[in-house]
Structure 1
Amino acid sequence: MITKKHFKLALIPLAFSSLLDRPVYAAEDDAAKDEKVIVTGSRIRQSQAAGNAPVLTLDRDDLAKTGLTSVADVLQKMSTSGAALNTRFNSSGNFGMPSDGGGVGAGGAEVDMRHLGSDRVLVLVDGRRWVSGSSASGVSSSVDLNTVPLAIVDRIEVLEDGASSIYGSDAIAGVVNIITRKDVNGWEMNASYGGFGDFIADIEDGETTSFDMTFGATGARHSIVTSFSHVDQNVVYSQNRSLATEPLFGTGNTRGSSATPFGRFVFFDGNGDVVSTTPNGDAGNLNYPSDFHDFTDDDRFNYAAFNLYVTPSKRTNVFTRATYDLSNDVTLFTQAMFNNRRSKNQAAPEPIFIGPDAGTGGIADTVSIDVTNPYNPFGVTLDENNFIFAGRRPIENGPRQYSQDVNTYYFTTGLEGTFDTGQSAYYWDVSMSWGTNRASQIKTGALNAARIKRALGPLSECQADPLCVPLNIFGRNSISQQMLDYISFTQKDASQNKIQLFNANINGELFEMPAGYAGFAAGYEHRVQSGFFEPDAIAASGETMGIPASPTNGSYDVDEYFLETKFPLLSGVSGAEYLEVSAAVRRSEYNTSANTSFDATTTKFGVLWRPIEELSLRATVSEGFRAPSIGELFNEGARNDQSMSDPCVNASSSVQERCLDIWPNIDFQALDSLGQTQISVNTGGNPQLNPEESESFTWGAVYSPDWFRNSNTWNNIGFELTFYDHEIKNPIQALDAQTQLNNCVLLNNDEQCFGIARGGNGGITSFGNGLQNLDKTGIETAGTDFKLNISTEELDWGRLGITWRNTFVEYYRDSFFGRDFDGEEFGSNPDRAIPEWKYDLTVDWSLNSWSASTTVRYMSKIYESCSDFLDGTANSLTNLGLCSNPSSVDDSFSTNIMDETYYVDFQLGYNTQLAGMDADFALGARNLFDQDPPLCTQCDLNSYLPGLYDPQGRFWYLKVSLRP
Structure 2
Amino acid sequence: MMKETVLARSVRMICVGGAALSMHAAFAQQAPEAIQKIQVTGSRLSSPSAESATPLQILTSADIAASGATNLQELLQKNPTLGTPTLSRTNSNFFTTGGGTATVNLRNLGDSRTLVLVNGRRFVSGRPGDSAVDLNTIPTDFIERVELITGGASSVYGSDAVAGVVNIILKRNFNGVTVDTSIGRSEKGDDFKKKLSLTFGTTSADGASNVMGHFGYTKQGAVFSRDREYSAIDQQSKIINTGEAGDAFLVDRPFYSGIAPQGRFFYNNPVTGKKGDYTYDKAGNVIPWSTNGGDGLAATGFNRSAFRTIAVPAERYLLALSGNHTFNEMASAFFEGNFASSKTRTATEPFGLSSKDIFKTNGQVPAETLVIGKNGQPNSVVRNPLVPQYLFDRIGDTDDDGLRDYNFTRRMAEVGSRSAGADRDTFRLATGLKGTIKDWNYDTYVIYGKTKESQNSTGQVNVLNFRNALSAVPDVNDINNNGNRSEAICSDANARALGCVPINIFGYGTISPEALKYVSAPGSLATSVTQKIAGGSLNGEIFDLPAGKVGLAAGFEWREESSVAIPDPLTQAGLNAGNATPVTEGKFHVREFFVETRVPVLKGKPFIKELSLLGAYRTGKYSTVGTANSWNAGVEWAATSDVKVRAARALSTRAPNIGELYQPASQTFPSGLVDPCNGMKADTSNKYSATCLAIPSVRANMAANGGVFTQTQADKQGVSGYNSGNPNLGAEEGRSTTLGLVLTPRSIPALSKFTFTVDYFDIKIADAIVNTERQILLEQCYTGKNPAFCKFITRRDAPVGANNGGTLSYIDSYATNSGGTGTSGVDFTVSWADKVGPGRLSAKLAYTYLKEYYDIPLPGDEKDYSQGELTYARNKAVLNLAYKWGAFGVTTTSSYISASSLDDQFLSNFDLPAGSVKVGSKLYNDVQFTYAATKAVEVYLGIDNAFDSKAPAVPMGLKNSTTGTETNASAYDAIGRRFYLGLRGTL
The answer as to whether partners of 1:246 and 1:252 remain within 8 angstroms in 2 is: no
The answer as to whether partners of 1:374 and 1:470 remain within 8 angstroms in 2 is: no
Tell me: CA distance 1:660–1:930, structure 2 relative to 1, closer, same or farther (3 Å): closer
Tell me: CA distance 1:183–1:364, structure 2 relative to 1, closer, same or farther (3 Å): farther
The answer as to whether partners of 1:39 and 1:48 remain within 8 angstroms in 2 is: no
What letter matches 1:640 in structure 2? T
Pairing 1:426-825 to 2, within 5 Å after superposition = 426-457=440-471, 459=473, 461-462=491-492, 464-466=494-496, 467-546=499-578, 548-592=580-624, 597-643=625-671, 644-652=673-681, 653-654=683-684, 657-666=689-698, 667-669=700-702, 672=710, 674=712, 675-707=715-747, 716-745=753-782, 749-761=786-798, 762-775=806-819, 778-792=820-834, 794-816=835-857, 818-825=863-870
> 1:181 aligned to 2:182?
no
Q: 1:199-242: CA deviations, max 9, x gaps?
A: xxxx7111101011111111221001111000011111111111
- Give, in whole Å, the separation in 2 of the partners of 1:186 and 1:522: 37
> 1:956 aligned to 2:941?
no
Q: 1:85-139: CA deviations, max 9, x gaps?
A: 44433535x35xxxxxxx64111010011111111100000111000013xxx42
Q: Which residue of 1 aligns with 2:347?
A: 346
- Give, in whole Å, the separation in 1 of the partners of 2:422 and 2:80: 31
Q: Which residue of 2 aligns with 1:13?
A: none
Q: Which residue of 2 aligns with 1:8?
A: none
What's the offset of the Cα at 1:796? 3.8
> 1:165 aligned to 2:166?
no
What's the offset of the Cα at 1:438? 0.4
Q: Which has the larger radius of gyration?
A: 2
What's the offset of the Cα at 1:568? 0.7
**TM-score, length of structure 2 as denominator length:** 0.84
Tell me: CA distance 1:893–1:79, structure 2 relative to 1, closer, same or farther (3 Å): closer
- Give, in whole Å, the separation in 2 of the partners of 1:144 and 1:158: 17
Tell me: CA distance 1:241–1:578, structure 2 relative to 1, closer, same or farther (3 Å): same
Q: 1:563-622: CA deviations, max 9, x gaps?
A: 000101001101211100011000011114xxxx41201111000011122111111100
Q: Report the 3-state secondary structure (helix = DSSP H, G, I; strand = E; otherwise coil) of the residue aligned with 2:603.
A: strand
What's the offset of the Cα at 1:892? 11
Q: 1:364-398: CA deviations, max 9, x gaps?
A: 56543211233334223676579896321121222
- Give, in whole Å, the separation in 1 of the partners of 2:272 and 2:921: 52
The answer as to whether partners of 1:462 and 1:470 remain within 8 angstroms in 2 is: no
Tell me: CA distance 1:890–1:526, structure 2 relative to 1, closer, same or farther (3 Å): closer
The answer as to whether partners of 2:846 and 2:877 remain within 8 angstroms in 1 is: yes
Pairing 1:160-559 to 2, within 5 Å after superposition = 160-197=150-187, 204-219=189-204, 220-248=207-235, 251=251, 254-270=254-270, 275=275, 277-282=277-282, 284=284, 291-293=287-289, 295-296=291-292, 298=297, 299-355=300-356, 364=360, 366-372=362-368, 373-377=384-388, 378-379=391-392, 380=395, 390-420=408-438, 425-457=439-471, 459=473, 461-462=491-492, 464-466=494-496, 467-546=499-578, 548-559=580-591
Q: Which residue of 2 aligns with 1:849?
A: 887
What's the offset of the Cα at 1:83? 0.9
Tell me: CA distance 1:301–1:567, structure 2 relative to 1, closer, same or farther (3 Å): same
Tell me: CA distance 1:381–1:561, structure 2 relative to 1, closer, same or farther (3 Å): farther
What's the offset of the Cα at 1:891? 8.6
Match of 1:923 among 926, 929, 941: 941
- Give, in whole Å, the separation in 1 of the partners of 2:735 and 2:130: 24
The answer as to whether partners of 2:462 and 2:521 remain within 8 angstroms in 1 is: yes
What's the offset of the Cα at 1:354? 2.6
What letter matches 2:628 in structure 1? A
Report sequence identity in percent. Answer: 28
**TM-score, length of structure 1 as denominator length:** 0.86
What letter matches 2:762 in structure 1? D
Q: 1:277-328: CA deviations, max 9, x gaps?
A: 33131475x6xxx644454464432101101121111111111111111112
Q: Report the 3-state secondary structure (helix = DSSP H, G, I; strand = E; otherwise coil) of the residue aligned with 2:365.
A: coil
What's the offset of the Cα at 1:841? 0.3
The answer as to whether partners of 2:153 and 2:650 remain within 8 angstroms in 1 is: yes
What letter matches 1:684 in structure 2? S
- Give, in whole Å, the separation in 2 of the partners of 1:375 and 1:251: 40
What letter matches 1:941 in structure 2? G
What's the offset of the Cα at 1:520? 1.3
What letter matches 2:811 in structure 1? F
> 1:128 aligned to 2:156?
no
Q: 1:522-557: CA deviations, max 9, x gaps?
A: 110010111100011111110112464221111111
- Give, in whole Å, the separation in 1 of the partners of 2:43 and 2:573: 49
The answer as to whether partners of 2:930 and 2:941 remain within 8 angstroms in 1 is: yes
Q: Report the 3-state secondary structure (helix = DSSP H, G, I; strand = E; otherwise coil) of the residue aligned with 2:814.
A: coil
Tell me: CA distance 1:75–1:192, structure 2 relative to 1, closer, same or farther (3 Å): same
Q: Report the 3-state secondary structure (helix = DSSP H, G, I; strand = E; otherwise coil) of the residue aligned with 1:686.
A: coil
Tell me: CA distance 1:621–1:886, structure 2 relative to 1, closer, same or farther (3 Å): closer
Pairing 1:124-163 to 2, within 5 Å after superposition = 124-134=117-127, 138-163=128-153
What letter matches 2:168 in structure 1? I
- Give, in whole Å, the separation in 2 of the partners of 1:773 and 1:272: 55
Moved more, 124-133 or 30-39: 30-39
Q: Which residue of 1 aligns with 2:484?
A: none
- Give, in whole Å, the separation in 1 of the partners of 2:234 and 2:768: 33
The answer as to whether partners of 2:47 and 2:540 remain within 8 angstroms in 1 is: no
What letter matches 2:864 in structure 1? R
Q: Which residue of 2 aligns with 1:904?
A: 925
The answer as to whether partners of 1:184 and 1:225 remain within 8 angstroms in 2 is: yes
Q: 1:49-96: CA deviations, max 9, x gaps?
A: 93211111111111111111101111111101111144433535x35x
Moved more, 546-555 or 528-537: 546-555
The answer as to whether partners of 1:218 and 1:224 remain within 8 angstroms in 2 is: yes
What letter matches 1:929 in structure 2? F
Moved more, 111-120 or 451-460: 451-460
- Give, in whole Å, the separation in 1 of the partners of 2:274 and 2:817: 43
Q: Which residue of 2 aligns with 1:840?
A: 878
Equivalent pairs, count: 872
- Give, in whole Å, the separation in 2 of the partners of 1:752 and 1:451: 36
- Give, in whole Å, the separation in 1 of the partners of 2:596 and 2:457: 49
Q: 1:30-60: CA deviations, max 9, x gaps?
A: 9789986421111112448932111111111
What letter matches 2:317 in structure 1? T
What letter matches 2:364 in structure 1? S
Q: Report the 3-state secondary structure (helix = DSSP H, G, I; strand = E; otherwise coil) of the residue aligned with 1:259.
A: coil
Q: Kindly report the root-mean-square deviation, in angstroms, between the aligned alpha carbons of the 2 structures.
A: 2.9
Q: Which residue of 1 aligns with 2:17?
A: none
- Give, in whole Å, the separation in 2 of the partners of 1:585 and 1:224: 36
Structure 1 alignment gaps of length 5 or more: 1-27, 96-102, 198-202, 826-832, 869-884
Q: Report the 3-state secondary structure (helix = DSSP H, G, I; strand = E; otherwise coil) of the residue aligned with 2:664.
A: coil
What's the offset of the Cα at 1:256? 3.1
